[in-house]
Structure 1
Amino acid sequence: MKTTANALLTRIEFPVLLAGLLIAGCLWGFEELMEVARATTPHAFDTEILLAFRQAGQPGIPIGPLWLEGVMRDVTSLGSATVLVLITAATIVYLLLIRRPAPALLIFVAVAGGQLLSSLLKVGVDRPRPELVSHLVSETSLSFPSGHAMLSAVTYLTLGSLAAGFLQDRTVKAYVLVLAVLTTLLVGISRIYLGVHWPSDVLAGWCAGFAWAMLCWLAARLLQRRKGGESEIGD
């Protein structure tokens, strides 16, 4: 039995095992945050963090200099449907032009599936936008999970992992992955700063987006290995 277990572990690649563990952790985190979202009253950490981004006693005025609000509006646009669709379409067309259909398909499935999943989760939880502070941008959809946070995670992490797989230098690989993660984090923080999401919405969006991106990458990797062909999705 011990020999069989050791043989199985040696066949499982470390990145695959790590991806499985991260997916499980993200799903657990999302489930916990969903309980927070379904509560009849906002959780203390939601209200405290949201108010921390506003001047004391003035929920309509964000903290920081006047230019910071404009910066946050620009940053949040990096997670908008328009920007993400443009980036995704441009990347897919480029990959098709250089005859890399496998990563092109992976990106399409990840982003399109993430958008569908985000919409279904919003309807399923049915959480309204926070009214504790004023909204600095106009939003009409439901609040949980944050679509900007989730789709930023899906898009930028998928693109970052694919780009890193095509690169040789480890320092450049790390830079690309860090840039993808940093962009995802900044988009989520901007949603809280602008007052259109509870912090738990953003955390849930990150969890769901990261889990979905990792699941798509894992599925594509395993399918590629089963075909026995040269990997096109990056290692």
Structure 2
Amino acid sequence: MSDYTNKLIQGWKEQVSSRLSPLLSLLWVGGFAVAAFCVWGFFKIAEKVFAEETTEFDTAILQSIYEQHTPFLNQIMTGITFLGNGSTLIYLSCLVGIVLLVSRKFASAFTLIIVTSGGIGLNVWLKNIFARVRPALWERIVDAASYSFPSGHAMVSLVVYGFICYLLIANFRYWSSICLFLTTLLVLAIGFSRLYLGVHYPTDIIAGYAAGLVWLISCILSLEILQFLFGKQNQKAVSD
């Protein structure tokens, strides 16, 4: 084994021992566990959807929601669903990315690009694989042209708003509970708006959240590793 490899391994051991608390290590393991569970859940849902075992469940929930339609709620839900549109999330990501670049948080800015573009690309790929036709139980209030499974609004809004929430919590820990609550509420509201508007089945939304959570966890853990490695390199450069 080369001296460089030995130094690399030794440096990694020093990083783990000096910077990773037992709690943080537990959170990393927990993140992988949650991601694995979401992958399993996604494919279980997909299996039942395409075996047509969820048709009655999906239809019953949509019909119940349709009975609550009012002109006022139509406007509210249209506004909420706008917050999960692809264009909205791209513009928001660009704005946050500029702030991160100005703040010299280059790793976070780069990860945000991967989070958003990867989330959108992954959703399009999954939609084309499963090719589930959208529900057509009543006349739609909004247009929706692509496939239904998994929901892009549910998946990508969870990814983008979830990552922004992570960044806020990392910098403003006193507001972590409020930030997490508001982000969760917003993402759930966006998912519900898609049901209200009749452009997705409930199983589309659940699968979208599952896939989005996997991607979000993967990106956050990747950023943690990047910051972990570059932080150690910077410390070594200063000491040298």
TM range (shorter): 0.7 to 0.9
From 24, 31, 45, give the equivalent of 2:36: 24
- The 2-side partners of 1:188 and 1:106 are apart by 24
Question: Aligned pair 1:81/2:77, yes or no?
Answer: no
- The 2-side partners of 1:198 and 1:93 are apart by 36
Alpha-carbon distance, 1:228 to partner: 4.1
Alpha-carbon distance, 1:40 to partner: 4.5
Q: 1:79 aligns to what SS in structure 2?
A: coil
Question: Aligned pair 1:181/2:184, yes or no?
Answer: yes
Flag the 1:11–1:83 CA change in 2: closer, same or farther, 3 A: closer
- The 1-side partners of 2:195 and 2:218 are apart by 27
Partner residue in 2 for 1:3: none
Partner residue in 2 for 1:143: 148
Flag the 1:155–1:35 CA change in 2: closer, same or farther, 3 A: same
Structure 1, residues 158-203: CA drift from partner, whole Å, max 9, x if none? Answer: 000111001131xx11111111111111000000000000000011
Greater C-alpha Rg: 2
> How does the TM-score come out when normalised to structure 1?
0.85
- Per residue, is there more helix in 1 or in 2? 2
Residue type of the alignment partner of 1:97: V
Partner residue in 2 for 1:4: none
Flag the 1:17–1:65 CA change in 2: closer, same or farther, 3 A: same
Residue type of the alignment partner of 2:59: T
Q: 1:136 aligns to what SS in structure 2?
A: coil
Partner residue in 2 for 1:122: 127
Partner residue in 2 for 1:92: 97
Question: Aligned pair 1:203/2:206, yes or no?
Answer: yes
From 30, 51, 55, give the equivalent of 2:63: 51
- The 1-side partners of 2:162 and 2:233 are apart by 22
Q: 2:220 aligns to what SS in structure 1?
A: helix
Gaps of 5+ in 1: 1-6, 56-62
- The 1-side partners of 2:115 and 2:126 are apart by 16
Partner residue in 2 for 1:59: none
- Verify the 8 A CA contact 2:31 2:217 in the aligned structure 1: yes
Alpha-carbon distance, 1:37 to partner: 2.9
> How does the TM-score come out when normalised to structure 2?
0.84
RMSD: 2.2
- The 2-side partners of 1:65 and 1:11 are apart by 48
Alpha-carbon distance, 1:133 to partner: 3.1
Gaps of 5+ in 2: 1-16, 235-240
Structure 1, residues 23-66: CA drift from partner, whole Å, max 9, x if none? Answer: 112111111111133235752211111111122xxxxxxx1442
- Verify the 8 A CA contact 1:151 1:209 in the aligned structure 2: yes
